[in-house]
Amino acid sequence: MTATTTRHEIVPLTFGGFAFQGRIVRGPGVREEPIVLVGGAFQHMDAWGRIERDLLAETDVITVDLPGWGAADRLPPEYGVDFLAGALDHLLDQVAPGPVHMVGASYGSGVAHRWAQLRPDRISRLMLVGTMTHVTGRLRTRIARSVELAEQGRHEEFTAEVLDLMLSREPGVRRQAAVRRCLRGLVETMSEADVGKYLDNTRRLLDHPGDDAAVLPVPVLVTTGEHDPLTTPRLSREAAARCADARFTTIYGADHLVHLERPTEVVDLALRFFGGRPLSGLPYCGPVEHVVCGVAR
């Protein structure tokens, strides 16, 4: 797709006194509801790459730097997920007042999930990539350790901790060396403001009380890489079990950064799910489990 076939629009907004912005990319021919992408802690709204490009063949794409993300204002950790869901709702009221599909990835999955709980009338289908209901145990200790290292300015150790949290060393992960170099470069070049946002967002994650047990009534697909060391397949499966109508699967040859390692497969899975097409027998993922109110079917 060439630059002449798409139109970009930046939408500056303020919510609760914090500046943030959304971005709309309009494809050449719209046949589906727009797809909203809510990314992780290191994901800026213009950094979706091949995921965005391939989705544009089907529909418009909306991305966002919510407060605390990217170029948006820093957001103190006492502002929780409900505030971020409110900011997302404010954006979508402006740019997509009708139904949307949504992808929430990693840190952004909690915001996407909460928005869908609050506005089930506005969402057709929800895909969560690398998610969990809450942070406990050894994982909580390791994430807190990354905060401690960042606070102390021990940047080399902080970088190593972040990489080990997100990336697997298991053989068979696609583009493993390239993705590791990419993430290392991103973390090593973080500005003081970027580190501050990481600290705020990670404290917000650690302070988050978890899912409030309200059942999400819309169709949901939960997935992650089969080797994800952060939001492991077990944790992701537990998140799927909290939904009224969910599918769960893992993508082969990937870890937490599945969108970089297997972007073509992530897009194919998303478009199949959003389009209501069958998910069975796909060569790049495990068997798709249908979970209805916590019960596998």
pLDDT tens string 77-122: 999 999 999 999 999 999 999 999 999 999 999 999 999 999 999 9
Strand partners, 37: 63, 103
Task: Please give the angle made by the CA atoms of 74, 38 and 226, to the nearest 5 degrees.
Answer: 120
From residue 40, how far is each of 26, 66, 211, 270 by CA, in Å? Answer: 22, 11, 18, 17
Phi, psi of 186 (to 5 degrees): -65, -45
In the chain, the amino acid numbered 278 is: P
Torsions phi, psi for 121 (to 5 deg): -70, -15
The SS3 assignment for 297 reads coil
Q: What is the largest CA-CA distance in the chain?
A: 50
Tokens standing for residue 81: 């997920």
Q: According to the model, what pLDDT value does residue 3 have?
A: 43
Interval 251-288: pLDDT, tens: 999 999 999 999 999 999 999 999 999 999 999 999 99
* Confidence grade of residue 2 (pLDDT, cut at 50, 70, 90): very low
Cα distances (angstroms) measured from residue 120 to each of 35, 38, 99, 220, 271:
15, 17, 9, 12, 20
What one-character DSSP code corresponds to residue 100?
E
pLDDT at 231 over 90: yes
By DSSP bridging, strand 295-296 and strand 289-292 are antiparallel
What is the third-level CATH fold of 3-132+212-296?
Answer: Rossmann fold (3.40.50)
Compute the CA torsion angle 179, 288, 232, 110 (nearest 10 deg): 90
Which pLDDT does position 1 carry in this prediction?
41
Buried b (16+ CB within 10 A) or exposed e, 141-174: eebeebbebbeeeeeeebbebbeeebbbeeeebb
| pLDDT given at position 258 | 97
Question: Nearest 5 degrees, angle CA 81-CA 212-CA 204?
Answer: 30
Burial state string for 64-74 with b = 16 or more CB within 10 A and e = fewer than 16: bbbbbbbebbe
Least Cα distance to 128 among 202, 31, 218, 254 occurs for: 218
Q: What is the pLDDT of residue 115?
A: 97
Percent of the chain with pLDDT over 90: 84
Q: Which residues contact 4 (CB under 8 A, 6 or more apart)?
A: none
Question: pTM of the prediction?
Answer: 0.94
Query: How much is the pLDDT for 4?
Result: 44
CA nearest to 37, candidates 45, 26, 29, 27: 45
More confident residue, 231 or 213: 231
Share of the chain above pLDDT 70, in %: 94
Give the residue from 197, 188, 204, 179 showing the smallest Cα distance to 49.
179
